[in-house]
Every structure is written in C-alpha cells, then in structure tokens.
Amino acid sequence: MSKPFRYGVVGNPISHSMSPRLHQQFARQFGIDIVYSKYCPSTKGFSRVLNDFFQSGGKGLNVTAPFKRDALEYADLITDRAKDSNSVNTLVFTPEGILGDSTDGMGFLRDLYHKQKNFSIDFAHKRAVLLGAGGVARCIAQALLLDGFEVYLINRTQSKAEQLAKDLSHLGTIQLYDKSIAMDLIVNSVSFNADKFLQQITFAPDAVAYDLNYGDKAGQFLTAAKGFTSHQFDGLGMLIEQGAESFGLWTGKYPDTSTINLKK
C-alpha cells in the first residue's frame, strides 16, 4: 500500500488555519490520499523545520505570515510572479530543487472573475485603488496590472507606495490616488481602520469593495463600504482559489472550487 502524499502549511500563529480542511477537500475530488499538517516554527527554526519536512519526503508547503520572505530566500528556484511579489506562499519539491511560487495574486483574480460572473459586475473602466503597500498588496497590484487594470495606491507611508510602484513598473504604471478619478474596485490589504479611507475616494456606479481579510477581520471595513459601493466581498474566496493554485502546482490537478465548504 502506497504512503499518502505529505503537504502542510507553515506560519506563526497557525492554529487558526483552514488550509488542512481545504486541501483535504481538494484531494477527495481526485481520490488522492494526503496528510496535510500545520507547522509553527520560530523565526530561527524556520529553515530547520523545512529541511526536515522535505528531506523526509514532504512534497509541498503553503507558507503564510510571517514567513513569506523567508520562503523566498529558502527556495532554490523562483517563478517570475514570486520575484515580482517579493514573497513566496507555495513551496514545491521538484527534482531540480525546491520551487518557490506566489499564488496569492492569481487566487485573488480567479475569485474576482467568479464574483463578476455570479453578480453580473462590469468594471467599466477597470480602475482599482489599493489600500496598503505591504507584501500581499504587492501580489494584488501585480495581478491587477497583468489583468489590465489601472492601479492606484493609498498608503500611510508615501515612500513605501512609491517603492512598490517602482518595483512593478515593468508591468505597468501604479499611481498615487487622486480623488478626481472614479474607482470601480477598492481592495483593502490593511488590518484595521481601513474604513477611514472610504470618504477620500470617488466611486463609480456599481463599484466593488473587496477585503483581503475574511471573517471578523473584514467586518468593519465591509460594513462601512456598504454606504459607498454596490458589492462587498471578503477574502475567503481568495483563500480557496490560491489554495487550489497551490494544489495544482503540487499535483498537476486543479480542483473544482465551487464545491468547497469551509464553514464548521
């Protein structure tokens, strides 16, 4: 009898992660036997935990905060989208070495496509404003540029926003937001008090608010956004879609995300 394939997620904290339930549902779609575990190393113990995992036959890992930059350094091979994201959230064992990739941007776009279709949303001018300029914001900005959006930034530290724009200039132009321009999409990547920015933005008709957080963390911003936008979504769909992209990298099989249920 063959052994199950071993996967996992690395983060600190990690007890809250839905990834084990998510990937077990993916695996059942294809009749694949997997073991998917949570790993919570210290910063100093990150490389040792990963070495132990891969040297003992592990096939792939998801990586979450605060280790996405550490995973970028750890990987032997890096995809272009991981380079642009300056982070890695998926590690894949390959004969050539450990491959590092970033599936966050693709996961966001796929979820956005599903919501456009399901709610008949038309981003008339494809203009998006992004709140924040941290690691996950970089992934989203990259994905939006590749999808043809005009991308604007609002960030507390202007120099950080300007650096992000410079780093991704080979993909397109990112500008600091000017209230004279109406936005089709607002994406929140900051943890708290994002609702204070809503009054600084001009919104197009049928505008969409998307919070990369999910659950209680997304509540305050999305509730406030109801007064400014026609549709409000949290990041649970992105979590599922980026996980599906990871699963595809590991197995070559891309699951049907429409059947996934992460509610307890």
User: What is the tens place of the pLDDT at every residue in 248-262?
Assistant: 999 999 999 999 998
* pLDDT for position 172: 96
Q: CA 187, CA 2: separation in Å to the nearest integer? A: 44
Together in a domain, 22 and 34 = yes
* Among 26, 77, 94, 76, CA closest to 254: 26
The pLDDT of residue 12 is 97
Q: Measured between alpha carbons, how far is residue 24 from residues 17, 37, 102 in Å?
A: 13, 11, 21
Q: Span 238-250, mean pLDDT? A: 97
Any domain includes 168: yes
Indicate if 81 and 114 belong to the same structural domain.
no
- Sign of the torsion angle spanned by Cα atoms 29, 34, 40, 41: negative
At 145 the three-state DSSP class reads: helix
On whether both 69 and 124 belong to a single domain, the answer is no
Domain co-membership, 181 together with 226? yes
Domain boundary among 40, 67, 102: 102
Of 15, 19, 100, 61, give the one whose Cα is nearest residue 262. Answer: 19
pLDDT given for residue 264 in this prediction: 64
The tokens describing 10, both together, are 């690395």
Please compute the mean of the pLDDT values over residues 70-96 and round it to a whole number.
Answer: 96
Domains: count for the chain: 2
Q: Which domain holds residue 181?
A: 105-238
Q: How confident is the model at residue 218 (pLDDT cuts 50, 70, 90)?
A: confident
* pLDDT (0 to 100) of residue 263: 79
Any domain includes 247? no
pLDDT surpassing 80 at residue 182: yes
> Domain check: are 138 and 204 in the same one?
yes
Query: Cα-atom radius of gyration of the chain, to the nearest Å?
Result: 19
Query: Could you tell me which residues are annotated as the binding site?
Result: 17-19, 64, 80, 89, 104, 132-136, 155-160, 212, 214, 235, 242
Per the annotation, where are the binding residues for NADP(+)?
Answer: 80, 132-136, 155-160, 212, 235
Residues in the chain: 264
Residue 120 and residue 227 share a domain: yes
Question: Do 183 and 152 form a contact (C-beta atoms < 8 A)?
Answer: yes
pLDDT band at 2 (very low <50, low <70, confident <90, very high): confident
Tens digits of residue pLDDT in 142-159: 999 999 999 999 998 999
Report whether pLDDT(99) > 80.
yes
Indicate whether 258 belongs to any domain. Answer: no
Evaluate if residue 90 carries a pLDDT over 80: yes
Q: Is the pLDDT of residue 163 over 80?
A: yes
Mean per-residue pLDDT over the chain, rounded: 95
User: In this structure, are 24 and 37 located in the same domain?
Assistant: yes
Q: How far is CA 105 from CA 33, 111, 193, in A?
A: 28, 10, 23
In the numeric block, which tokens belong to residue 72? Answer: 């970028």
Domain identity same for 11 and 86: yes
Cα–Cα distance between 232 and 207 in angstroms, integer? 9
The CATH number of whichever domain residue 220 belongs to comes to 3.40.50.720
Q: What is the pLDDT of residue 35?
A: 97
Residue 115: pLDDT over 70:
yes
d(CA 149, CA 60): 32
Residue 173 lies in a domain: yes
- Mark whether 46 and 155 lie in a shared domain: no
Binding site residue list for shikimate: 17-19, 64, 89, 104, 214, 242
CB 178, CB 122: distance < 8 Å: no
15-63 per-position pLDDT tens digit: 989 999 999 999 999 999 999 999 999 999 999 999 999 999 999 999 9
Looking up residue 37, the CATH number of its domain turns out to be: 3.40.50.10860
Position 209, amino acid: A
Q: Is residue 256 part of a domain?
A: no
List of residues 6+ apart from 218 with CB closer than 8 A: 188, 211, 234, 235
Predicted confidence (pLDDT) at residue 222 exceeds the cutoff of 80: yes
Question: Could you say which of 102, 124, 150 is where a domain stops?
Answer: 102
Does the annotation mark 68 as catalytic? yes
For residue 218, being part of any structural domain is answered with: yes
Residue 249 within a domain: no
Percent of the chain, pLDDT > 90? 91
**Residue 65 belongs to some domain of the structure:** yes
CA distance 161 to 159: 5
Q: Please state, for a pLDDT cut of 70, what percent of the chain lies above it.
A: 99
Residues 95 and 110 in one domain: no
Peptide bond into 95 cis (omega under 30): no
User: Do 232 and 110 share a structural domain?
Assistant: yes
- Catalytic residue (choose from 3, 38, 68, 226): 68
CB atoms within 10 A of CB 36: 22
- Residue 241 pLDDT > 70, yes or no? yes
Residue 228 has pLDDT above 80, yes or no: yes
Residues 111 and 175 in one domain: yes
For residues 144 and 211, give the distance between their C-alpha atoms in angstroms, rounded to a whole number. Answer: 15
- pLDDT of the residue at 217: 82
